Amino acid sequence: MTAMEPPDLLRCRCGSGEKAEVIEAIRPLDPTQALKNAVRGQYDSGTVLGKAVRAYRQEPDVAPDSNTETYIACKLQIDNWRWAGVPFYLRTGKYLKRRVTEIAIRFHQAPFTLFRDTGVERMHPNWMILRIEPCEGIGLEFAASVPARP
């Protein structure tokens, strides 16, 4: 939904066509690109939030030689005029450090700064974070300069 075009208000399908357009515009990954732009894994035994957890393959009803992913991260490209060259990173998994659903948007770095003594490469990026659950909200993180003292 973050990448879809605004829906046509005259249609009452609530953007389902626009969602489908975004999915269709995702650039397919050939096997070489998949190895470069995606990673998958399976959790092992350890602790999560201070509680001991067993490995996925030790869970009830899971085969001891299971190759089922419990974590995936990938970088996707959307081939349309609005999102050309903008990477989308997707991550999901079980037994992660925290349970959260969010959309983090990193704004493009400016080509130069207003302050001559601060290089662009030293600036922290600006972010907008849309928290979907469990604590709904919007967060903004802006790079700021500390004023020099006279």
Question: In the predicted model, what is the mean pLDDT of residues 109-118?
Answer: 62
Residue 143 has what pLDDT? 75
Summarised one tens digit per residue, pLDDT across range 44-62 is 998 877 889 899 999 999 9
Residue 3 has what pLDDT? 83
Distances (CA, A) of 143 to 91, 98, 124, 125, 127: 25, 26, 5, 6, 9
pLDDT band at 15 (very low <50, low <70, confident <90, very high): low
Question: In the predicted model, what is the mean pLDDT of residues 100-129?
Answer: 74
Phi, psi of 24 (to 5 degrees): -65, -25
Residue 35 has what pLDDT? 95
Which comes out higher in pLDDT, residue 125 or 130? 130
Question: Does a cis peptide bond (omega within 30 degrees of 0) precede residue 134?
Answer: yes
pLDDT surpasses 80 at 82: yes
Residue 9 has what pLDDT? 66
* Domain boundaries of the chain, sorted by first residue: 13-96, 100-150
